[in-house]
Homo-oligomer: A and B are copies of this chain.
Amino acid sequence: MATKPFAIIAGVGPGTGASIARRFAKSYPIVVLARNPANYQGVVDEINSTGGQATGISTDLSDSAGVKSAFEQIKSQFSGATLAAAVFNSGGGFVRKPFLELTEEEFGGGFESQGKGAFNFAQHVLPLFNPTATEHPPTLIFTGATASLKGSANFASFAAGKFALRALAQSLAREFGPKGIHVAHVIIDGVIDIPRTKGWVFEKEDAKLDPGAIAESYWHLHTQPRTTFGFELDLRPYVERW
């Protein structure tokens, strides 16, 4: 029977999610969730082969039945253990288009991914927290974006999803904070340095967010005591215009 507190990272590809997984895996056995196993297999193998403990589960967070089944697997594997931290880092699900070219499904995709996905994730992780059982207060962190604060032209789908996610994060922080659960929202404002953005060239060096540094901030938020919970932190490269 596992008893060590563990962590769950949802939305793990080769970028931020993998770095957050690596960071939390230094202290906890971790579960990573992603639609496509190809997205998490690399980091799962890496963690397991370097002294950590990681499990990958393939699931689509916007599909409530699938999420339920994924968490039954988690509860069975970690029966007797407490959840120490959970990170919702899912992306995707939206398109960038002139508004009149958007289909209803495309517009709704932002909310499916960010609103409904985060809802399903939160519904399952919150009951696994136990504020008196872990070293640090149990922590639920959501990943936001520039579009969490600004609805730009052609970004209706993404902004609607990210605004909704921020609303959810605020609502959960206000409901579960007083129960000793730390809910936080991190706004990533800029391009992240991941394989997909490798070729994006900027005038100045170091112009992309470092996933490892993002992960350190998530870890810092996790370690805050309940006297001093951070709710929102915005991260951007030094040269970013904002």
State the A residues within 8 Å of B (CB). Answer: 64, 98-100, 102, 104, 107-108, 111, 115-116, 119-120, 122-123, 126-127, 137, 147, 150-156, 159-172, 174-178, 180, 182, 193, 204, 206-210, 213-214, 216-217, 220, 223-242
Contacts and interface: CB of A to CB of B under 8 A. Distances in A.
Contacts of A236: 228-229, 231
Contact of A210 (B166, B227, B237): B227
User: Which applies to chain A's interface (DSSP): helix, strand, loop or mixed?
Assistant: helix
A178 to B, nearest CB: 5
A232 B229 contact: no
A3 to B, nearest CB: 25
B228 A115 contact: no
21 contacts: A99-B122, A99-B123, A99-B126, A99-B171, A99-B175, A104-B123, A111-B160, A151-B168, A151-B170, A151-B174, A163-B164, A164-B164, A177-B239, A193-B227, A206-B227, A207-B227, A208-B227, A213-B227, A227-B237, A229-B236, A230-B233
